[in-house]
Amino acid sequence: MKTRKAAKPDPPTQPPGPPSAGRKRVEHSKDKILTTTIELLYEAGLGLSIDEVSRRSGVAKTTIYRHWPVRSALILEACVKLTPEPRAPDHGSFAREIAELIETLAKVLRTARWTGVLPSIVDAAERDPAAARVFGQIQAGHAAPFREVIVRAQRRGELARQIDPDTMVATIIGPLFYRRWFSREPIDKAFTNLLIRQATG
């Protein structure tokens, strides 16, 4: 009777090696293209051209189109990078968390360069589905941490379960957006304190 040979153990998995030189070059060129696109968005809004991106970045148009087959795809990715999403703080207290989020967003709206680009995205979103997606992502990204701390506070019993988180988010950040892009009134400490009192009262 033949004895069955023991199966050989699988060779140990090798950790992934360092990125190849070719991959580094690709990532470097993509970073240059996106950085240049963001700078042009600050200067020209959505009216930027691939020719200008190529000229200013020093990257050939063929390379740009290899990564982003259409202009709108490049603008979409650049706009998403333009407005990094805030994180939801977790201090175990709704009052502290919502105050931090309100003050952080207020500071961003006062100082960040991307706030000057957003009106052109909003305008384009009325006609262009790609721009509408960009605006939707930006809006959802800034609302998400507010919604998270509200839902968490409901689980802890700090807020009533019947409160609709999305409606509450709108009542908190809506006035900030209104002052930044419509009334142009100052987004100062007195105003943020008022929003904090309304949210936590």
User: Does the structure show a pLDDT above 60 at 3?
Assistant: no
Residue 24's contacts (CB-CB under 8 Å, 6 or more residues apart) are none
Q: Which of 75, 47, 67, 64 is nearest to 135 (CA)?
A: 75
Structure tokens belonging to residue 18: 């360092």
Segment of 6-10, 20-24, 41-45 carrying the highest mean pLDDT: 41-45
Helix orientation angle between 165-178 and 129-156, rounded to the nearest 10 degrees: 120
Please give the pLDDT value at position 4: 53
* Cβ proximity of 172 and 146 under 8 Å: yes
Convert the pLDDT of each residue in 100-137 to its tens digit.
999 999 999 999 888 888 888 888 888 888 778 878 88
Mean pLDDT of 76-101: 89
Q: Given the structure tokens 């930006």, which residue do they identify? A: 138
Homologous superfamily in CATH for domain 23-82: Homeodomain-like (1.10.10.60)
Homologous superfamily in CATH for domain 94-200: Tetracycline Repressor, domain 2 (1.10.357.10)
Instruction: Report H helices in 45-128.
Output: 50-57, 61-67, 71-82, 94-111, 118-125
Please give the pLDDT value at position 88: 95
171: helix, coil or strand? helix
Higher pLDDT, 144 or 72: 144
Higher pLDDT, 106 or 14: 106
Q: Which of 91, 115, 102 is nearest to 146 (CA)?
A: 102
Rounded to an integer, what distance in angstroms lies between the CA atom of residue 50 and that of residue 120? 18
Domain boundary assignment for the chain: 23-82, 94-200
User: Does the structure show a pLDDT above 90 at 75?
Assistant: no
Higher pLDDT, 175 or 2: 175
Rounded to an integer, what distance in angstroms lies between the CA atom of residue 69 and that of residue 61? 10
Q: pTM (2 decimals)?
A: 0.74
* Cβ proximity of 68 and 77 under 8 Å: yes
* Cβ proximity of 113 and 42 under 8 Å: yes
Q: Which of 91, 108, 106 is nearest to 194 (CA)?
A: 106
Convert the pLDDT of each residue in 56-70 to its tens digit.
999 999 999 999 998
